[in-house]
Amino acid sequence: MNLPDIIKFVIDLLAVLLLALGIKGLSKVRSAREANILAAFAMLLSVVGLLAYYLGTSGIPAQSWAWIIIGSLVGSLFGTLLAKKVPMTSMPETVALFNGFGGMSSLLVAIGAFLFPFNEGAKAGYVEPFINDISISVSIFVGAITFSGSIVAMAKLQGWLSTPGWTQVKARHFVNIIFGVTSLLAFIYLISGNISSIWLLVIASTLLGIGVTLPIGGADMPVVISLLNSYSGIAAAAAGFVVDSQLLIVAGAMVGAAGLILTQVMCKGMNRSLVSVLFGGSLSAQSTTSSGSGEYTNITSCSVEECALTLEAANRVIVVPGYGLAVAQAQHTLREVTKKLEQNGIEVVYAIHPVAGRMPGHMNVLLAEADVPYEQLKEMDIVNPEFPATDVVLVLGANDVVNPQAKNDKSSPLYGMPVLDVQEARTVFVIKRGMSAGYSGIKNDLFDLPNTSMVFGDAKKVLSELISELKDLGVGEK
Amino acid sequence: MNFDSLLWVLLLGSLLGLELIGKVPPTLHTPLMSGANAISGITMLAALTAIIKAEPNSPLLIIGSISLGFALFNVVGGFFVTDRMLAMFSRKPTKKNK
């Protein structure tokens, strides 16, 4: 080992260590922000290490510098712009988009490495051409699926794509199997030396990514994104085999494995298995046939004024936020309402369902943005026993996560999903735009209960009306 | 590095990843996913290697550069967006109920 090798080795080792510490730190509230910066630093370090190594050995041609600078500038610029400008509510889509581009990067490198071999080992035949081709194929396959799947997921979350009915037919599995088999055939051709089959592999795996993601309902998208995130780690590890870099393999493998764990955690939160998420199709499409017990019989609707009067008399209020709150961007208005209540000595707590919103932690981020104290956010298991001792529950744009069907109705597709027991409270106000169903498309039995009142309207509008009503009642005027 | 030692690296890296996040509070799921996603942009190293090793005037330069752009979009954007989310948690809790 000569000097550049040793330096590169030490830097790589240090980068892996810092990345591991970064991922670990990201899983704790206290250290998360520093850990993120640490991981970013480790990435920078790895780039510096790589560049220094080639400067010290083979040198970097001027032409290469030019392309490196162009690529880095354009990529970083657009990445920064998007990251700074995107609203907090669109986080899931943004992560999906970033993830898709990461997959695209692995895909392109693998195509490049195949068409214009640059790895000395592969060129000189040290590395079995067979193994080199397998690494390239895996990188292309996983990279393409990650890219097309993430883009579909993003388009669905943005509302650009719906879940068309024809995607729910059983034949879709057959079509996907064809894509899968085609990929496999292309893979075999490629290994046996048929160069042009690389394009077949690219096309078939791209279509497979679309075919698998398209039928999945919007409610399951977070799980899909988490899974695709894990794939992009695998794609990175495969690219590591192509360019013979241990650092790439370790980092890719870590992300791949950590992503799998996270996916599992999310599935648990919704009480669904990964298999049923991936192959079960959209929940709403099933429910139209299975639970047709559909009509509401006993809806009580009430005015904002009544809601304000009840709130004024309460001692303890629990707020259940959901995606509707995020869509209406009503978190700041909500905070104003709860501030008024708190000034009147009313205890306010926020009940956070693990999958409220479109992604775990979505509500926490949203409420933190509105300066809600961290200790007022309570997780489901902690807050559930507190509902019977609660006077008023405000359900804001949440639906499926407060559906008692999940506990009582064995025929319901939601059955078994852990939910918030809001119906145990004395009064429940559901602030909702209309009677439409939640993301699962299932009727919510909560709305029919005698202690539930519906307040119809956009969350932000209702909440600001609530503020003026509370003001008229003299709440929070001390 | 020969192939089987790289496989060992892969195996140990995966085990490390499985161990690293055992218990994660739900609050951190989205930031963790986003942070891990940024790290998966480490393919930028592969893109860099491709550009550096490319022959002069080879199309590989362009392919590598585009790949590098995509990877850096993922990395830089990913870290910034994660930081934006986490910045909201690290704020000092506001005054409690009086």
Mean local confidence (pLDDT), A333-348? 88
Chain segment A34-86, per-residue pLDDT in tens:
999 999 999 999 999 999 999 888 888 888 899 999 999 999 999 999 998 88
Measured between beta carbons, the chain A residues lying within 8 angstroms of B45 are: 46-47, 50, 243, 245, 247-248
Active-site annotation holder among A12, A133, A220, A400: A400
Residues above pLDDT 70, as percent of chain A? 88
Q: Does the annotation mark A400 as catalytic?
A: yes
Q: Which residue has the higher pLDDT, A1 or A93?
A: A93
Q: How far apart are CA A300 and CA A284, in angstroms?
A: 25
Q: Measured in Å, how far apart are chain A's first and last C-alpha atoms? A: 75
Q: Residue A285: what pLDDT?
A: 45
DSSP 8-state class, residue B96:
-
More confident residue, A88 or B70: B70
Residues A89-114 have a mean pLDDT of 90
Taking the CA of residue B4 and the nearest CA in chain A, the distance in Å comes to 11
pLDDT at A418: 79
In three-state secondary structure terms, B21 is coil
pTM over 0.80: no
pLDDT of A11 > 80? The answer is: yes
Could you report the per-residue pLDDT of A419-430, keeping only the tens digit for each?
Answer: 888 888 888 888
pLDDT, residue B97, reads 36
Going by pLDDT thresholds of 50, 70 and 90, the confidence category of residue B46 is very high
Q: What is the pLDDT of residue A399?
A: 80
What's the pLDDT at A74? 94
Lowest mean pLDDT, pick from A45-59, A127-141, A440-454: A440-454
Report the pLDDT value the prediction gives residue B94, as an integer from 0 to 100: 41
Structure confidence at residue B92 (pLDDT): 45
What pLDDT was estimated at residue A423? 86
Q: pLDDT higher for A432 or A414?
A: A432
How many CB atoms neighbour CB A57 within 10 A? Answer: 13
Mean pLDDT of chain A: 83
Q: Do A95 and B30 touch (CB under 8 A)?
A: yes
The whole-angstrom distance between B34's CA and the closest CA on chain A is 6
Residue type, A261: I
Q: What is the pLDDT of residue A234?
A: 92
